[in-house]
A and B are shown apart, each in its own frame.
Chain A
Amino acid sequence: MTSISLSVSGAAESVRQVARAFDTFSASCGIAGPVAQAVQVALDEILSNTVRSAFAPGQTGRIDVRFEVAQGVLDILIVDDGIPFDPLARAEPDTKAPLEARPVGGLGIHLVKRLMDDVAYQRLEGENRLRLRKKIIGS
């Protein structure tokens, strides 16, 4: 299996659905250990953010996810029809602040940027398109 696509709603349970889909895909591609775990963390950050803030109250929402492996690189495309939102535009959190002043917001996207090799956002034809890439050779 070199690619898999799924479409989920903008509901909270979709985050787990996507995690399960990646479990299946990663097992079939031999992606395991720290690389698979890093991808699961990134997916949790992105998807939980999307179901929490991309859709208006009462809007079902749609999120399309595609996993593909080609030439040793995992390519993930996450597309939603929610409000325009570029997660990468968010300011970097202060990761050196003392305990009392430590911010929680923004940590998720910071992790995604660091755990993945490449992250790109595009607003196209009324959709948010986020592309994550991660080298899997040697994983």
Chain B
Amino acid sequence: MEIREERRDAIFIVAPVGRVDSNTSSALEAVVLAHAREARLLVDLSGIEYISSAGLRVFLMLARRVKEAGGRLVLCGMGASVRQVFDLAGFTALFAVETSVEQSLLRLSP
């Protein structure tokens, strides 16, 4: 899977593209967990077609690591399918969720 990475000011942005499933979740895991100690981390999900529980597991680990490290994590750009899976799993309440990158940058601004 393609995973875009970008630093914008003090905020690190990770943007996976494609399907997050049992086949691709380990690639996503390697990238996002490598940035779990960023003070401000944004994961842009707008390029994700769908996510299965293998991907949810990655986000759960990421949230725990970020919390341990005292950082801040925001997720944005969930499409209908990704949002539905987050909602059904009860994951939406575990994350700071924004609609767009711009909204997220505002939220993560010092």
Contacts and interface: CB of A to CB of B under 8 A. Distances in A.
Given A99-B63, A110-B88, A111-B88, A37 B49 contact: yes
Interface of B is mostly: helix
Contacts of B51: 41
B50 A108 contact: no
Contacts, number: 75
A44 B85 CA distance: 13
B48 to A, nearest CB: 10
Interface residues of B, number: 25
20 contacts: A19-B21, A33-B81, A34-B81, A34-B84, A37-B50, A40-B21, A40-B52, A41-B50, A99-B63, A99-B67, A100-B64, A107-B53, A107-B56, A108-B52, A108-B53, A110-B89, A111-B52, A111-B85, A111-B88, A115-B88
A104 interface: yes
